């Protein structure tokens, strides 16, 4: 793991962990982190996970449920009184009653489930599952703790000036050229630069650009920190040597350090460092659509995410005072936008993207796996005759207001879509020289748009009916299976 903490942070983490473990002596507890970058489906996954544990469903790979050993799963008051509760009931109502997707994760939230199960020998036990749902953008902030402002500025400006970002970054880069770090500290200039930098980060997140590596994360999700000095800084070309006192560069450096101390460290210390296991949700299809630069950026982001984890097998001391994350699952979401023949291929592409990260996790004794899933399946598969051909299609209800082929959808009618087919060999996304990625629009790869339509949730969600899914059971078996034996 990259060096993120000082002695005071470690002492605080040890105290919180010991308190967790003391409670866990009477009630075995697993803290599962759920994260992912914007629009990857964190809220949907957490809602579907809770519903599956409470209501069951078709889960052939999740052995504890398939065998009937899970007796019940009950919601309980969460352990941290100062952390918002994950709004499970509200999200489920949005899915069931409005047939709409719940709002995205913009802050950390928690939910506690007491899972009562029978062991393989027949005795009854309870596993307390604490779900910690948080934005993946916050995770990408953790490497900042090991950076100086000069390091951050150099890296950020290098990214902004790269060909894939330079166009959307041009207004910000023009402002950087106009306001040198040696100029006088000026609040108006600082606010202008921070606003332009934020606008550039936001533009990078659009589907057309689909960049993933976009720290600082709170610039896109400011919450109650909006307008504060801790969020009113931006990277400038660093001067030779330390910034001059009273200069704009010195102001930016001071506020960067304030951001680390007031925003990043508390999140790391109070939430992230206490996790036992982690799932990272990835919208790989958006990166595939956006092209080679987006894929390369996603690979760097995923590598940085795993570098932030303290992975490995737990010893007695680490279990008591400083836990390690012993399992990490990377999940490519929105598999329901593809025919099932491409699900394994999507997994293979994600495995290729996390190849370097997987090797590092294995060296430390941690288990890392990948899966392609749809925690809530919005489509079903069908065979459709067109022009005398029998074609594989997916069928769903497009969200209201979308247009395709000159037709505007009303949010009620079902349509059949012919999804593109991913290549069987994930290496086809890499050029033969090994110098980068190739996009979908290449000679041997289907030129398809896997975001063609956004579908509404399926009808019938809620109550005792199970939620349709793709491979949610595989995710649950990997993350929870060995703790329910």
Q: Round the CA-based radius of gyration of the chain to a whole number and report it.
A: 23
Q: Mean of the pLDDT values across residues 30-36?
A: 95
65 lies in the same domain as 104:
yes
215 lies in the same domain as 354:
no
The pLDDT assigned to 364 comes to 66
The pLDDT assigned to 134 comes to 93
23 lies in the same domain as 85:
yes
Predicted confidence (pLDDT) per residue in 114-157, tens digit: 999 999 888 999 999 999 999 888 888 988 998 999 999 999 99
| Within-domain flag for 157 | yes
Quote the domain boundaries for residue 100.
7-134+271-377+466-483
- The two beta strands, 124-133 and 407-408, are unpaired
275 lies in the same domain as 363:
yes
The pLDDT assigned to 390 comes to 85
The pLDDT assigned to 27 comes to 75
Question: Taking the model in full, what pTM does it have?
Answer: 0.87
The pLDDT assigned to 109 comes to 95
- The two beta strands, 407-408 and 403-404, are antiparallel
Q: Smallest Cα–Cα separation from 467: which of 104, 75, 99?
A: 99
Domain boundary among 208, 240, 262: 262
Domain boundary among 262, 287, 302: 262
pLDDT score of 316 more than 50: no
| Within-domain flag for 280 | yes
Task: Output 185 or 404, whichever has higher pLDDT.
Answer: 185
What total of structural domains would you count in the chain? 2
The pLDDT assigned to 79 comes to 87
pLDDT score of 389 more than 90: no
**Is-contact 132 279, C-beta < 8 A?**
no
How many angstroms separate the CA atoms of 20 and 14, rounded?
Answer: 10
Task: Output 314 or 331, whichever has higher pLDDT.
Answer: 331
| Within-domain flag for 428 | no
473 lies in the same domain as 337:
yes
272: left (phi over 0), alpha (psi -120 to 50) or beta: alpha
251 lies in the same domain as 277:
no
Predicted confidence (pLDDT) per residue in 1-10, tens digit: 445 555 566 5
Predicted confidence (pLDDT) per residue in 257-275, tens digit: 999 999 999 998 888 888 9
60 lies in the same domain as 120:
yes
The DSSP call for residue 325 is B
192 lies in the same domain as 318:
no
Q: Smallest Cα–Cα separation from 267: which of 369, 135, 418, 377?
A: 135
For residue 339, the domain's CATH number is 3.40.50
Averaged confidence pLDDT in the chain: 87
Distance from the first to the final alpha carbon of the chain: 30
pLDDT score of 440 more than 60: no
Domain boundary among 241, 262, 283: 262
| Within-domain flag for 329 | yes
């Amino acid at each position: 793991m990259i060096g993120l903490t000082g002695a005071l942070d470690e002492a605080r983490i040890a105290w919180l962990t010991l308190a967790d473990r003391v409670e866990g002596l009477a009630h075995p507890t697993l803290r599962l982190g759920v994260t992912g970058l914007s629009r990857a489906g964190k809220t949907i996954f957490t809602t579907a996970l809770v519903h599956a544990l409470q209501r069951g469903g078709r889960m052939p790979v999740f052995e504890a449920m398939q065998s009937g050993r899970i007796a019940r799963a009950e919601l309980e008051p969460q352990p941290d009184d100062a952390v918002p509760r994950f709004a499970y009931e509200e999200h489920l109502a949005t899915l069931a009653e409005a047939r709409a997707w719940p709002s995205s994760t913009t802050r950390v939230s928690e939910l506690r489930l007491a899972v009562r199960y029978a062991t393989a020998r027949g005795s009854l036990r309870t596993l307390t599952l604490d779900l910690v749902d948080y934005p993946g953008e916050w995770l990408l902030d953790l490497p900042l703790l090991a950076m100086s402002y000069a390091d951050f500025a150099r890296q950020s400006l290098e990214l902004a000036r790269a060909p894939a970002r330079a166009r959307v970054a041009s207004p910000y880069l023009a402002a950087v050229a106009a306001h040198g770090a040696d100029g006088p500290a000026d609040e108006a200039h600082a606010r202008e630069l921070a606003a332009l930098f934020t606008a550039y980060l936001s533009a990078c997140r659009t589907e057309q650009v689909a960049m993933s590596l976009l720290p600082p994360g709170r610039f896109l999700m400011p919450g109650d920190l909006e307008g504060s000095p801790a969020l009113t800084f931006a990277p400038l070309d660093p001067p030779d040597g330390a910034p001059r006192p009273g200069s704009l560069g010195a102001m930016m450096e001071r506020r960067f350090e304030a951001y680390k101390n007031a925003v990043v460290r508390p999140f790391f210390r109070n939430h992230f460092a206490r996790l036992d296991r982690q799932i990272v949700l990835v919208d790989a299809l958006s990166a595939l659509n956006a092209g080679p630069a987006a894929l390369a950026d996603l690979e760097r982001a995923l590598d940085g995410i795993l570098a932030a984890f303290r992975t490995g097998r737990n010893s007695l001391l680490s279990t008591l005072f400083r836990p390690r994350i012993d399992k990490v699952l990377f999940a490519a979401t929105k598999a329901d936008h593809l025919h099932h023949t491409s699900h394994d291929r999507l997994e293979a592409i994600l495995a290729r993207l996390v190849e370097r990260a997987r090797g590092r996790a294995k060296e430390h004794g941690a288990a890392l796996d990948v899966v392609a899933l749809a925690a809530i399946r919005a489509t079903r598969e069908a065979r459709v005759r067109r022009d005398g051909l029998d074609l594989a299609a997916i069928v769903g209800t497009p969200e209201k207001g979308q247009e395709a082929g000159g037709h505007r959808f009303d949010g009620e009618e079902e349509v059949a879509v012919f999804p593109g087919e991913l290549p069987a060999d994930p290496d086809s996304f890499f050029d033969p020289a090994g110098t980068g990625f190739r996009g979908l629009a290449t000679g041997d790869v289907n030129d398809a748009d896997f975001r063609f339509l956004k579908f509404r949730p399926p009808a019938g969600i809620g109550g005792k009916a199970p939620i349709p899914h793709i491979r949610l059971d595989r995710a649950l078996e990997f993350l929870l299976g060995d703790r329910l034996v």
